[in-house]
């Protein structure tokens, strides 16, 4: 199949319907009971019913997985299966899995371990990073007296060019930290090229990557792109809130970190994570494999998972193409007078489905409010917000309306959004 198809490829209508039924609250707001298009999945994705149901069920059990009774042992097996599911997502072998309350906490811990214990006069990151990675780099660079080098963004693509990162790396670099994809622009960074080129300059360079935005939209393969640390967040990946997941390579796992004395040096878990979270991530993997099974036959879980993620990516790209270029009934954002797609990189294979847009005659906040009144949930990214200012400024934007649908949306949903957008253009 053509995973690289520039315009993507829709799921069949039957599969789109079956997918929608597997998620909670896709078409109706559960509080107001009104119809809505939830296009703010980058702030927290639709919940897979199977993942949330198993989480709720297991969280009712008082049993401690580390104890010896039968139900406790059953919980421990579920936890073990959860670790394997995380390995399926990342294609990791060896190293250690780290879990915490949030992906940000995992990021701070990984950065701290490297910057505090690996020699080198500088650390490198990008202007596009989420505060969890950027602020961790600032904090530990300051603490250890290392120079912080920051790669600039590319306002044409909404990403960061490989060369901008690589020119900052030298023999004295302690850590490189970059994101797989931007939660502001959707732009993908070329992780494979970044890692390869960085290690050409310094073969034993420590590299950490933030995959929180990208994980629900594409493939991560640690065998092909070997980084020392990576994180993602189940609540953006069809699962429950309250869990952050990371992987640390064998050498990173052994660096000094917060740990209990009784545990081995490479063990990063602190305390007792909820078994329900591990069961939920297994359900997410089973779901993606189920999509894969609609297209290929295999008994290999990773192969099915990769096929499922590729199909998600293709459907999302087809939706994104329709949003930009229009459908048979309505023109797209690129043609519509009065609204603009920002950072509109023409090559959609280089983007996850996030569209920053803006109107000629509506402020960002105002437009988000009007979208909500019309039944569409979006999110404003404003230069006045510390969560957005650095990235927006570097991209030459004062703000944007972030539109982030998900693979369980249909072409009809995009057409509805475009009709509402056209009406807002006329206000």
Ligand X SMILES: Cc1ncc(COP(=O)(O)O)c(C=O)c1O
Give residues in contact with ligand X (CB under 6 A).
Answer: 102-104, 130, 132, 179, 183, 210, 212-213, 233, 244
Nearer to ligand X, 233 or 397 (CB): 233
- As measured in angstroms, the least distance from the Cβ of 296 to ligand X is 30
Cα–Cα distance measured from residue 174 to residue 117, given in angstroms and rounded to the nearest whole number: 9
In whole angstroms, how large is the CA radius of gyration of the chain? Answer: 22
- As measured in angstroms, the least distance from the Cβ of 102 to ligand X is 3
- As measured in angstroms, the least distance from the Cβ of 272 to ligand X is 19
Strands across the sheet containing 379-382: 339-341, 355-359, 399-403, 379-382
- As measured in angstroms, the least distance from the Cβ of 182 to ligand X is 7
- As measured in angstroms, the least distance from the Cβ of 1 to ligand X is 28
Nearer to ligand X, 11 or 238 (CB): 238
- As measured in angstroms, the least distance from the Cβ of 244 to ligand X is 5
- As measured in angstroms, the least distance from the Cβ of 128 to ligand X is 9
Nearer to ligand X, 104 or 185 (CB): 104
Chain position whose Cβ is nearest to ligand X: 104
- As measured in angstroms, the least distance from the Cβ of 309 to ligand X is 18
Nearer to ligand X, 139 or 370 (CB): 139
Token reading at 199: 């290690």
Nearer to ligand X, 100 or 416 (CB): 100
Nearer to ligand X, 241 or 334 (CB): 241
Q: Do 80 and 87 meet the contact criterion of CB atoms below 8 Å apart?
A: no
Nearer to ligand X, 239 or 275 (CB): 239
Nearer to ligand X, 109 or 210 (CB): 210
């Amino acid at each position: 199949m053509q995973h690289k198809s520039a315009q993507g490829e829709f799921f069949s209508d039957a599969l789109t319907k079956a997918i929608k039924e597997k998620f909670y609250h896709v078409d109706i707001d559960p509080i107001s009971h009104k119809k809505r298009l939830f296009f703010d999945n980058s702030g927290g994705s639709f919940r897979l019913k199977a993942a949330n149901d198993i989480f709720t069920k297991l969280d009712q059990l008082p049993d401690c997985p580390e104890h010896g009774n039968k139900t406790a042992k059953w919980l421990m097996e579920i936890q073990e299966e959860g670790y394997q599911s995380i390995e399926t997502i990342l294609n990791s072998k060896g190293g250690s899995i780290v879990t915490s309350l949030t992906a940000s906490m995992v990021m701070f811990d990984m950065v701290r371990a490297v910057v505090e214990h690996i020699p080198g006069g500088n650390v490198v990151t990008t202007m596009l990073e989420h505060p969890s990675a950027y602020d961790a780099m600032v904090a530990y660079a300051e603490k250890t007296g290392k120079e912080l080098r920051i790669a600039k963004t590319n306002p044409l693509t909404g990403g960061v060019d490989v060369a901008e990162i690589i020119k900052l790396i030298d023999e004295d670099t302690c850590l490189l930290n970059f994101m797989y994809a931007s939660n502001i622009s959707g732009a993908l960074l070329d992780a494979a090229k970044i890692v390869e080129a960085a290690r050409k300059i310094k073969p034993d360079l420590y590299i950490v990557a933030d995959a929180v935005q990208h994980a629900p939209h594409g493939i991560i393969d640690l065998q092909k792109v070997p980084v020392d640390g990576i994180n993602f967040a189940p609540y953006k990946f069809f699962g429950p809130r309250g869990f952050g997941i990371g992987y640390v390579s064998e050498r990173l796992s052994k660096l000094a970190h917060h740990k209990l004395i009784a545990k081995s040096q490479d063990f990063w878990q602190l305390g007792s994570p909820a078994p329900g979270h591990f069961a939920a991530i297994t359900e997410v993997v089973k779901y993606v494999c189920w999509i894969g099974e609609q297209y290929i036959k295999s008994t290999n879980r990773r192969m099915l998972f990769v096929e499922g993620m590729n199909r998600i990516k293709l459907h999302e790209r087809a939706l994104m193409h329709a949003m930009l270029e229009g459908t048979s009934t309505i023109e797209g954002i690129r043609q519509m007078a009065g609204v603009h797609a920002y950072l509109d990189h023409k090559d959609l294979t280089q983007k996850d489905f996030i569209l920053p847009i803006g109107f000629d005659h509506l402020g960002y906040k105002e437009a988000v409010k009007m979208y909500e009144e019309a039944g569409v949930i979006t999110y404003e990214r404003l230069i006045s917000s510390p969560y957005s200012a650095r990235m927006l400024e570097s991209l030459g934007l004062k703000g944007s309306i972030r539109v982030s649908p998900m693979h369980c949306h249909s072409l009809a949903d995009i057409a509805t959004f475009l009709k509402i957008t056209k009406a807002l253009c006329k206000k």
